[in-house]
Amino acid sequence: MTFERLLDDLIRDTVHVSLPAFIAELIVCATIVILLLGRLFGTDRIVTPRWVAIVGATLAFAASIGQFGEVFASGRSPIEHTALFTGLLIHDPLTVYMRILLCGFLVLMTWLTAVSGIPDREDGPDFHTLLFGSTLGALLMAQSNNLLMLFLAVEMTSVPGYVLVGFQKGRRQSGEAALKYLVYGAGAAGVLLYGTSLVAGTLGTASLAEIAMRMPSVVGINAGPLASPAERTIVLGSLFIFAGLAFKLALVPFHFWCPDAFEGASAEIAGFLSVAPKAAAFALLVRVVQSLFGADSGPIEDLRHAFGIGLAVVSALTMTLGNLAAFGQSNVKRLFAYSTIAHAGYLLMGVAAWMVAGGEAGLRGLEGLFYYLAVYVFMNLGAFAIIAIIRNATFSEEIDDYAGLWARMPIVCGGMAVCCLSLIGIWPAGGFIGKFMVFAASLSAGWVSPVMWALVAAAAINTVWSLFYYARVLRAMYLESPTDSDRLEEIEASPFANALVLALTIPVLLLGVFVEPLSRVTAFVARSIVG
């Protein structure tokens, strides 16, 4: 093979296969470049950065929606798990699904920052560059097909996140939170990198697809569990990779950064951090699990089963600690920060159920996870968006200052009610369906291992607990009379803010009532993962 041939193949592959599939990410990149150039040439004074961001995000979303049809419309997949960029990325239904979710999320996010005005005009380009950079990282996370890519994508998501947390200059709390997040993140990155190098070194490849093929040649050759050194190294490496991802997902005991970072950050950034990196990290977790433990052999299935049980325990701990901590909060932002920890626990149930049950029953867990993620994007961003909107109107994030807001901001408070119901998991909000799906999947996984039943019991108790603190927010808004009613007189939500709240909460309700369309898609995505 001559050098020209190689180069030709590379170019043909890149131009004809990779780039067209990668169009949404390219638009995000282009937006970043335009934002930065605008700063350089001073055009950001003519065209507001936030408009550049909104247009960029919308175009990226449109491009991702364009791919929806080719994957899902026919009901079968014309996309044959295409590997992009010499196998570093993969283009499959999960990629497209996550791309649509994340790009849609980016549109809503830019809309939110435009409404709440958190970056002022001066900081706009920097802020949006960081926001888009982090989202780009999340997009790459969701489609990584290589351990190195996995690490780079995780870092690309995290590093702008550190800066975004400390973005409110001059606020001591923000700086402290950013530093904590950074140090913690650096430690987790080290662990993740160490894990990837152990796995890659043992198997001689970093490609997730290759890993899946080579695992059976390493695991279970000697009799007994973890009998060979290679097997042990792989398991330790996997443990470290899981720990690195657990950091991104804020799972116990890697969750410490989350409440501090969220409290230091503005509500908008907290909303961002609680959704985009987490959703992407779940997609990545699924890919890693499928790569490491997806092979069709007894010993590997045992490993998957054991890791699944481990994740179930982590899931139970995560939701319990998150909920207990949320219980005592008087600051709404901190309350929701803890509640997102709890939700990572519920979402993890889907993965655990998949890993424990395996086969057809396990697919239900994945379906539930993907459905839950779609609802989660709306309900969690919705909650944080509403906190931001209320903060702009009342200059407070304390529950007590929410008293009687109902009368002044009916749509915003109605939105909060929908988000809270959904987070609790009460019909007709979509959170009910998501929760139901992962609960049901875990229950049927209980036939394989009763630990899953214990997990469901823990989740049910947690759901009841969560009722108490979510209800406190609603109670303040709807039932309590304000201490200072004059202060409320001037409060009002702008039409744009109201429109945003509707855009965030109506889908939550729709996902609760019209389940079939999306559940068909998630079932398809889940099936495509397992192949």
Residues in touch with another protein (CB under 8 A): 179-180, 183-184, 187-188, 191, 194, 198, 201-204, 217-218, 226, 229-230, 232-233, 235-236, 239-240, 243, 253-254, 256-257, 259-260, 321, 324-328, 364, 367, 421, 424, 426-428, 432-433, 436-437, 439-440, 443-444, 456-457, 460, 463-465, 467-468, 471, 475, 478-481, 515-516, 519, 523
- In whole angstroms, how close is the CB of 236 to another protein at the nearest point? 6
Nearer to another protein, 52 or 198 (CB): 198
- In whole angstroms, how close is the CB of 477 to another protein at the nearest point? 11
- In whole angstroms, how close is the CB of 99 to another protein at the nearest point? 23
Nearer to another protein, 74 or 481 (CB): 481
Q: Using CA atoms, how far apart are residues 375 and 72, in angstroms rounded to an integer? A: 19
Quick one: residue 80, left, alpha or beta (phi over 0 = left, psi -120 to 50 = alpha)?
Answer: beta
Q: Using CA atoms, how far apart are residues 260 and 248, in angstroms rounded to an integer? A: 14
- In whole angstroms, how close is the CB of 139 to another protein at the nearest point? 20
Q: Using CA atoms, how far apart are residues 175 and 521, in angstroms rounded to an integer? A: 42
Nearer to another protein, 391 or 472 (CB): 472
CA 96 to chain centre: 15
Number of Cβ within a 10 Å radius of residue 476:
21
What does the DSSP assignment read for 477-526? Answer: HHTSPPS-HHHHHT----HHHHHHHHHHHHHHHHHHH--HHHHHHHHHHH
Nearer to another protein, 11 or 457 (CB): 457
Nearer to another protein, 68 or 327 (CB): 327
Contact 267, 360 (CB under 8 A): no
- In whole angstroms, how close is the CB of 466 to another protein at the nearest point? 10
Rounded to 5 degrees, φ, ψ at 146 are: -155, 140
- In whole angstroms, how close is the CB of 392 to another protein at the nearest point? 26
Nearer to another protein, 52 or 511 (CB): 511
H-run or E-run covering 89: strand 89-91
Nearer to another protein, 395 or 481 (CB): 481
- In whole angstroms, how close is the CB of 180 to another protein at the nearest point? 5
Nearer to another protein, 77 or 233 (CB): 233
CA triplet 192, 193, 198: central angle to 5 degrees? 100
- In whole angstroms, how close is the CB of 372 to another protein at the nearest point? 13
Contact 312, 455 (CB under 8 A): yes
Structure tokens at 24: 């949404």
Farthest CA pair distance, the chain: 80
Nearer to another protein, 13 or 480 (CB): 480
Gap between the terminal Cα atoms of the chain: 33
Nearer to another protein, 384 or 432 (CB): 432
Q: Using CA atoms, how far apart are residues 353 and 440, in angstroms rounded to an integer? A: 9
- Tell me whether strands 82-84 and 89-91 are parallel, antiparallel or unpaired: antiparallel
Nearer to another protein, 23 or 515 (CB): 515
- In whole angstroms, how close is the CB of 325 to another protein at the nearest point? 4
Q: Using CA atoms, how far apart are residues 204 and 4, in angstroms rounded to an integer? A: 28
Q: Using CA atoms, how far apart are residues 65 and 59, in angstroms rounded to an integer? A: 10
Which residues make Cβ contacts (< 8 Å) with residue 426, sequence separation at least 6? 432
- In whole angstroms, how close is the CB of 110 to another protein at the nearest point? 27
| Three-class SS state of 398 | strand
- In whole angstroms, how close is the CB of 162 to another protein at the nearest point? 13
Contact 504, 108 (CB under 8 A): yes
Radius of gyration of the chain (CA): 23
